[in-house]
Amino acid sequence: MHFSSSLVGVFSLLCSQAVAIPDLKARDLNSFVTGERTIALQGALNNIGPHGSQVAGAGNFVIASPSTENPNYFYTWTRDSALTMKMIIDEFIFGNTKLQPYIEEYIHAQAILQTVSNPSGTFLPNGLGLGEPKYQPDGTRFNGAWGRPQRDGPALRAIALITYSNWLIENGQSTKARTVIWPIISNDLSYVGQYWNQTGFDLWEEVLGSSFFTIQNQHRSLVQGTQLAKDLRVTCTGCDQAPEILCFLQSFWNGKYIVSNINVNNGRTGLDGNSILGAIATFDIDAYCDSPTFQPCNNKMLSNFRYLMDSFRETYSINAGIPEGQGVAVGRYSEDVYQGGNPWYLITTAAAEYLYDAVAQWKARHNLVVDADSLPFFQDLYPSVTIRQYNSGNANSPFSQIINAVTSYADSFVAIAQKYTPANGSLAEQFNRDTGVPLSARDLTWSYAAFVTLAQRRAGQYPTTWGTRQAASPPATCSGTSTTGVYAPATAAGAPNVTSTCQVNIVFNVNATTYFGENIYVIGNTDDLGAWDINNAVPLGAGGYTSQRPLWSVSTYLNAGETASYKYVRQENCNQPYIYETLNRTLTIPTCGSAPITVEDAWVGAVGTAGSC
């Protein structure tokens, strides 16, 4: 799995290609998509370490964005990486053979990453660490406070690796798929089968509950895993959970639209780009539109699409005056405030991709059924539509006219993306809801990956079926079952042969008087305490801070039997230098199986002073 130096040449070739194509805004839509597709693919590759031109210093990882502040996205997220790699794998299968080294490096790096202990837990014995959303750019753990766990990551990674494994099988390399890649997939599917019925954070890392996007992808991963296991003659632990997950998936529909986050009460409508991102990630060209997997051509999903677009039409001033049935700028959800709560490139292009997917499915089925749920969606585009089945016919048939209308609708979302894409084709995360100016993380890898998948669908390139027709139907009554996973390091792909890491729960309590705006961290010599790297110190919380007791606290897990040196650090409110305690403390973590211990400390060292920034 390691690369010979000749492959390095391939990387530098890919990385040095000049991609500046001026004046993208002035082009017609076809020419814009063609030009931007090239820029977007290169934009994604530029953010993949260690060779990517924008991410010097990163390991073999897909970095979310080169942006290191406001926001700092110089990390690797399991979700962003897997979605990007799925795009790269599909590009490879569609014929871009130069991309194979990126896939091979991903396999190797993810095998290692699976074994890294992190704040979500350890890899062994129970797979808990697989739910960690993000890691440092070199693949070491990230200790900061975060919305964790996020349970979509293992499913998305499995889907990407299964897609590549299927290609290997078709190309006479089943042995490699079985011995090298299956062990990675097996860990991820074990995680899905074991934890799907437990809440986690959504793809936007904000809501602790059950997320449509996550559940939909989890289901897909197990259906595809079942088939791959058969093909490779191996056992899939956890795949038996697929019908139960599909059963649960039905509960996100509220009669009008998909409530994207359930098992949570956060005051939102639930209308969220989550649902269309889920539908495009689980798109199956062979699926029937009434498949319980909620495909793009599904009537309930079309109703959802209409409600969702209306919510953004009413939210962003750049959408003012755009009538129903025409593309708008699309964001995460209308109540969003992150970085100002703006439209996102990747979700605007997802809306277009969604519609191209639906069109492709109707064409492939040679018919389209309009029901009461989808009628308003179709009426916006083709006013004379009625509730009935439309069978394919000649170019003037109602079927063809509807197909043309939906295709134009899709194109109108691409035109919105074009309008707000700068002339050099760079894609940030968001664009301003009032002015359309790009903002938040620049050169977002996921924005680029999303553009490429949109361009694939628009060009009629579809990944092969993932087996929606073969998937077992959901049971009549759902139950929250679980299958205990089997976890083992994927050593043939390069994972270290780790054994079970025994950890003990340690609570750090420190009395430290602070002013408003100041923060306290604990830092130490072990990886779980940040290895003296201040950027990776463990944050304490002030939830228990009172005028009687200035308590800062964190509950964490440290390796049994280890002796750690540590101290507390103050972070000031205006970027003044960090203030470290003036002593080194020592803590010997007790042996495996010990009860949790609480350390009671009091701050030793200088106090902070509020800056006036």
Pairing label, strands 388-391, 367-370: antiparallel
- Between 208 and 369, name the residue whose CB sits nearer to ligand NOJ: 208
Whose CA is closest to 187, among 270, 251, 129?
129
Is 310 labeled as catalytic in the residue annotation?
A: no
Q: Is the peptide bond before 125 cis (omega within 30 degrees of 0)?
A: yes
Residue nearest to ligand NOJ (CB): 338
Residues 307-346: x where in contact with ligand NOJ by CB under 6 A, - otherwise, as a string:
-------------------------------x--------
- Give the three-class secondary structure for 568: strand
Judged by beta carbon, residue 354 or residue 568, the one nearer ligand NOJ is 354
In this chain, which of 44, 63, 64, 247 binds ligand NOJ, going by CB under 6 A?
Answer: 64
Q: How far is the CB of 64 from ligand NOJ (least distance, A)?
A: 4
Say whether 532 counts as a known binding-site residue.
Answer: no
- CB of residue 280 to ligand NOJ, shortest distance in Å: 15
At 357, is the secondary structure helix, strand, or coil? helix
In whole angstroms, the minimum distance from the beta carbon of 345 to ligand NOJ comes to 12
**Which of these segments, 76-84, 303-311, 349-357, 389-397, binds ligand NOJ (CB under 6 A)?**
76-84
**Candidate ranges 74-82, 217-225, 304-312, 471-479; the one touching ligand NOJ (CB under 6 A):** 74-82
Indicate the pairing of strand 503-511 with strand 597-602: parallel
Given the complex with ligand NOJ, which of 211 and 224 has the nearer CB atom? 211
Binding residue for ligand NOJ (CB under 6 A) from 32, 74, 77, 451? Answer: 77
Using alpha carbons only, how large is the chain's radius of gyration in Å?
25
Per CB under 6 A, which of residues 196..215 are in contact with ligand NOJ? 203-206
Cβ at position 348, least distance to ligand NOJ in Å: 15
Closer to ligand NOJ by Cβ: residue 79 or 567: 79
- Whether 518 is catalytic is no
**Residue 104: enclosing H or E segment and its boundaries?**
helix 100-113
DSSP state, residue 475: P
| C-alpha to C-alpha distance for 421 and 428, rounded to whole angstroms | 9
Set 202, 272, 373, 581: catalytic member: 202
Give the one residue of 73, 106, 333, 508 binding ligand NOJ; rule: CB under 6 A. Answer: 73
Q: Is 79 in the site for ligand NOJ (CB under 6 A)?
A: yes
∠65-69-72 over CA atoms, to 5°? 50
Spatial separation of the C-alpha atoms in residues 288 and 367, rounded to whole Å: 10
Cβ nearer to ligand NOJ, comparing 37 with 79: 79
Are 571 and 533 a contacting pair, CB within 8 Å? no
Residue 106 three-state SS: helix
Q: In the bound complex, what is the minimum distance in angstroms from residue 346's beta carbon to ligand NOJ?
A: 9
Give the amino acid at 91. Answer: E
Q: Which residue, 206 or 371, has its beta carbon nearer to ligand NOJ?
A: 206
Binding mask 422-461 for ligand NOJ (x = CB under 6 A): ------------------------x---------------
With a CB cutoff of 8 Å and minimum separation 6, the contacts of 428 are 345, 438, 439, 440, 441, 442, 443, 444, 447
Beta strands (DSSP E) in 310-398 are 367-370, 388-391
> Shortest approach of ligand NOJ to residue 337 CB, angstroms?
8
Query: Out of 36, 80, 244, 284, which residue is the one contacting ligand NOJ (CB under 6 A)?
Result: 80
Helix, strand or coil for residue 248? helix
List, in order, residues 6 or more apart from 496 with CB less than 8 Å away. Answer: 112, 115, 489
354 binds ligand NOJ (CB under 6 A): no
CB of 54 to ligand NOJ, least distance (A): 14
Q: Is 39 in the site for ligand NOJ (CB under 6 A)?
A: no
Q: In this structure, is the dihedral angle defined by the CA atoms of residues 103, 104, 106 and 111, taken in order, positive or negative?
A: positive
Question: In angstroms, rounded to a whole number, what is the distance separating the alpha carbons of residues 238 and 362?
Answer: 33
CB of 295 to ligand NOJ, least distance (A): 23
Give, as ranges, the residues between 360 and 419 that touch ligand NOJ (CB under 6 A). Answer: none
Residue 135 beta carbon to ligand NOJ: minimum distance, rounded to whole angstroms: 12
Residue 75 vs 252, nearer CB to ligand NOJ: 75
Which long-range contacts link 432-439 to residues 24+ away (Cβ below 8 Å)? 432/318, 432/340, 432/342, 433/315, 433/316, 433/317, 433/318, 433/329, 433/331, 433/340, 433/341, 433/342, 433/343, 434/316, 434/317, 434/318, 435/318, 436/318, 436/329, 439/339, 439/340, 439/342
Is the Cβ of residue 205 or residue 231 nearer to ligand NOJ in the bound state?
Answer: 205
Torsion 301-307-312-313 (CA) sign: positive
List the catalytic residue out of 205, 206, 324, 527: 205
Find where tokens 């996102």 sit.
Answer: 344
Cα separation, 257 vs 248, in Å, equals 16
| Run of H or E residues at 554 | strand 551-559
How many residues bind to ligand NOJ according to rule CB under 6 A?
Answer: 11
Give the residue with the Cβ less far from ligand NOJ, 349 or 412: 349
Query: Which backbone phi and psi does 299 adopt, to 5 degrees?
Result: -60, -40
| Interface residue list for ligand NOJ (CB under 6 A) | 64, 73, 77, 79-80, 203-206, 338, 446
Binding annotation: 146
Just list the catalytic residues: 202, 205
Binding annotation for substrate: 146
